[in-house]
């Protein structure tokens, strides 16, 4: 049976959970995730997890945060003066916001704390610092090039 290797395009159904069991994403009810193994389109631990699988195989992989979205970076915590928010805006902890870096690039932040005159915003990826668990099912392999010998 053909096994997944770097350069193969694969289709995978997945169920992603945190180590406490909380689901953060799954492909159920959607098309399977399609990507090229080793291309950097998915996190390293996911790439490594599908390598060597065969079509129809199911397995569970554990991905430490360093092979996922990395550690939380304290430099990504932004202190924003409260008066920079619109007066009529109700801000609350956990609220996602889109910010602009001044060069036209937008990025997502989440309000993590509200103080008297400062609001703390976290620009880390929501899964930074988290170890992840994925249940995988390999649906298809489209090898980059198959060599057929006569």
* 1 found inside a domain: no
* 83 found inside a domain: yes
- Kindly state whether residues 101 and 137 are assigned to the same domain: no
Q: What pLDDT is recorded for position 14?
A: 97
Q: What pLDDT is recorded for position 107?
A: 87
CATH number at residue 80: 2.40.10.330
Q: CA-CA distance, 43 to 110, in Å (whole number)?
A: 22
Q: What pLDDT is recorded for position 100?
A: 84
Q: Can you list the residues of the chain whose pLDDT is less than 50?
A: 145-148
- Kindly state whether residues 98 and 60 are assigned to the same domain: no
- Kindly state whether residues 101 and 59 are assigned to the same domain: no
Q: What pLDDT is recorded for position 144?
A: 57
pLDDT per residue over 66-96, tens digit each?
999 999 999 999 999 999 999 899 999 999 9
The 10 Å Cβ neighbour count of residue 69 is 18
- Kindly state whether residues 21 and 93 are assigned to the same domain: no
Q: How many domains does the chain contain in total?
A: 2
List strand residue ranges (DSSP E) for the chain, in order: 9-18, 23-26, 33-36, 58-63, 77-81, 96-100, 106-114, 118-122, 132-142
CATH number at residue 135: 3.10.50.40
């Amino acid at each position: 049976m053909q096994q997944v290797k770097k350069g193969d395009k694969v289709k995978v159904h997945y169920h992603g959970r945190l180590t406490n069991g909380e689901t953060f994403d799954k492909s159920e009810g959607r098309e399977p995730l399609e990507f090229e193994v080793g291309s950097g389109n998915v996190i390293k631990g996911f790439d490594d997890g599908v390598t060597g699988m065969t079509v129809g195989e199911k397995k569970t992989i554990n991905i430490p945060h360093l092979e996922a979205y990395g550690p939380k970076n304290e430099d990504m915590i932004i202190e924003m003066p409260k008066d920079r928010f619109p007066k009529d805006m109700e801000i609350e902890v956990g609220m996602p916001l889109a910010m602009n870096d001044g060069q036209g690039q937008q990025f997502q932040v989440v309000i993590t704390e509200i103080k008297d005159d400062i609001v703390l915003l976290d620009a880390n990826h929501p899964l930074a610092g988290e170890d992840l668990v994925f249940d995988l099912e390999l649906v298809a392999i489209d090898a980059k090039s198959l060599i057929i010998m006569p």
